[in-house]
Structure 1
Amino acid sequence: MLIFIAFLYFCLACSVIWLVVFPSGREFVAQIISGRWARVDQRLASLHHSGIREVAELRHGAGRLLARQMKFVRRHYLWLGAGCVAIVVPMVVVLVMGRPDTLPGYESAELPPDPKVLALLAGENLAPPAALPPMAFTTREVELVRPMLVNASRNWGLLHPDFHQRLLLAFKIMKEKHGYEMALLEGYRSPARQDLLASIGSQVTNARAFQSWHQYGLAADCAFWRDGQLIISEKDPWAMRGYRLYGEVAESLGLTWGGRWTMMDFGHTELRVKGVMRR
């Protein structure tokens, strides 16, 4: 998007410079306004039938026009230099100030963190919950909703410390305030696994290696633990209500919630840290 805006600005700036600085630009506009364009078109059509001599004269005339333009450039090089600066500098600023998000459509809600929550983060060091039994990730429901989950990493130690604490605090709020027990499905994801999941299809992920915050320990996929089973599918009304509450809690902690994306991922949260992910 930023590149498209910069390209539009470039075209607009070049057009303005051509009209303001170069006489040929003003003449072109004047020809259009005065209705001379039709005569120019007729002249070009006649040249098509006038033979080699007319073509040679046209080339000679073009050479003289080019010489006049070069002379004009030499006389007004300061104005042209200023014009080039006016084109290049805003384009560079637009590109440099761009934020390195993951994929198109993955937009953050960017809600400011609650000061009370920040105080909790600073003063309380939460411990990860007990690991779930491996069999919990091999049920038919889990395989249908999240294939290859059994091999995913659920090592809390591989997560970024700041994200680690925010996620644990979200788990605590969900349990104590809303009565939902959360479960970590996948945290850190290796580049090789990211590419493998992307190869399955867009129903799993559109992100290739290093296009996802999982590779930096700054993202996690989570679901709910109820009556000894993982509840992942949002088709369950109880789970869908939980996902929306989880999104509110996560955003209050300064996290980005996947439920707001074009390709919604209700159990996904991430912490976007500037300077970590590169385009």
Structure 2
Amino acid sequence: MIVLWLALGFAAVCALLWLLMFPESGERVAAWMGRLLRRGGDRARRGGRRVAGGVGGTGRSVRAVGAGALGALSRHRLVLGVAIALLCVPPLLILALRQRVVLEGFSSQDLSQSRTAIAELLRGERLVPPPPPPPAVFTTAEVRRVKPEIVTADRKWDRLSPDLQQRVLAIYRVMRDQYGIEMVLVEGYRSPERQAELMRGGRATNAGAWSSCHQYGLALDSAPMRRGKLQWDMGDAWTRRAYFLYGELAVQAGLVWGGNWRSLKDYVHVEMGEECTRAKRARRRQDAPGR
């Protein structure tokens, strides 16, 4: 439906631009439409014989307008070509490049194997959360400086949706076994009170209470760990590859990755988009006046 509206809007812009650039063609079209309407009225009043004559006249008018339009297009073909390019190129570039992740260091064959591995894990055994790292990992001086909000974050897997658990654990398994990257859960469930507090403090979110998927157990944040330390620096090549791989695998597992958001990029975040939308709607109906 969105593509249809974009196409209609683009066609309308092209038609308007054509009329503005070639007013003589617009006048011919207007005159042709006027003649067509008048002939339609005449045909209705005069009967069958005049109908045939009117159709013949309309055909000649159409041919005349078409010839005039082709002539105008031929005379102004350079200007028209530039105008069409200016209209077409930007939206085509946006559609071609949006949410496209370039995974340096990972081949298409690797990613294809990852997709197969994730599918098999989701169909097979029930995956069990890995043992958590030592608590000190989440309270280092660097964490307190860069990500202070995770010091007191909830990291209990059993407070998350079972479906989300299995999808993320499959991602963790593939990243560890196939790429040697260890992922760690840094925050799962988030109470509405904590959500509001984080928003007021301008930390990690711009969503208020009950506006985040964390409140419904349908979102979690993860980080790669290297040499016993959580990694956040997207300027580091290894860390950037790890997060973008995490995002690619999340999409393969049917999740929404925060790194694909256009406004606030949240590389640690994944969520179950459709399920979360339904949960938010149910919450709004619950809170609606009169219930």
Deviation at 1:119?
4.5
Give the corresponding residue for 1:229.
229
1:254 aligns with 2:257: no
1:187 aligns with 2:188: yes
Letter aligned with residue 169 of structure 2: L
Distance in 1 separating the partners of 2:99 and 2:209: 20
1:121 aligns with 2:122: yes
Deviation at 1:220?
0.8
Deviation at 1:135?
1.1
% identical aligned pairs: 45
Letter aligned with residue 276 of structure 1: A
Deviations 1:184-205 (A, max 9, x none): 000010111000100111x521
Give the corresponding residue for 2:278.
275
| 2:143/2:151 contact within 8 Å kept | no
Distance in 2 separating the partners of 1:210 and 1:237: 35
Distance in 2 separating the partners of 1:155 and 1:266: 20
Give the corresponding residue for 1:37.
none
Give the corresponding residue for 1:44.
none
Within 5 A, what are the aligned runs for 1:184-223? 184-201=185-202, 204-223=204-223
Change (3 A) 1:151 1:206: same
Give the corresponding residue for 1:166.
167
Distance in 2 separating the partners of 1:116 and 1:180: 16
1:178 aligns with 2:179: yes
Distance in 2 separating the partners of 1:185 and 1:233: 15
The 10-residue stretch of structure 1 (241-250 or 203-212) with the greater mean CA deviation from structure 2:
203-212
Give the corresponding residue for 2:58.
none
Aligned residues: 171
| 2:172/2:183 contact within 8 Å kept | yes
Letter aligned with residue 244 of structure 1: F
Structure with more relative contact order (C-alpha pairs < 8 Å, separation 6 or more): 1
2:278 match: secondary structure: coil
Unmatched tracts of structure 2, length 5 or more? 6-97, 101-114, 285-291
The 10-residue stretch of structure 1 (239-248 or 145-154) with the greater mean CA deviation from structure 2:
145-154
| 1:108/1:256 contact within 8 Å kept | no
Distance in 1 separating the partners of 2:240 and 2:120: 29
1:275 match: secondary structure: helix
Distance in 1 separating the partners of 2:183 and 2:121: 19
Deviations 1:43-83 (A, max 9, x none): xxxxxxxxxxxxxxxxxxxxxxxxxxxxxxxxxxxxxxxxx
Give the corresponding residue for 2:145.
144
Distance in 2 separating the partners of 1:190 and 1:122: 31
| 1:108/1:257 contact within 8 Å kept | no
Deviations 1:236-256 (A, max 9, x none): 221111001111111000000
The 10-residue stretch of structure 1 (119-128 or 154-163) with the greater mean CA deviation from structure 2:
119-128
Report the TM-score, using the length of structure 1 for normalisation: 0.57
Distance in 2 separating the partners of 1:144 and 1:153: 19
Change (3 A) 1:108 1:121: farther
Deviations 1:125-146 (A, max 9, x none): 1110111111111112212221
Higher helix share: 2
Deviation at 1:123?
1.7
Letter aligned with residue 221 of structure 2: D
Report the TM-score, using the length of structure 2 for normalisation: 0.55
Distance in 2 separating the partners of 1:183 and 1:276: 26
**What is the RMSD of the two structures over their aligned residues, measured on CA atoms?**
2.5
Distance in 1 separating the partners of 2:258 and 2:149: 20
Give the corresponding residue for 1:238.
238
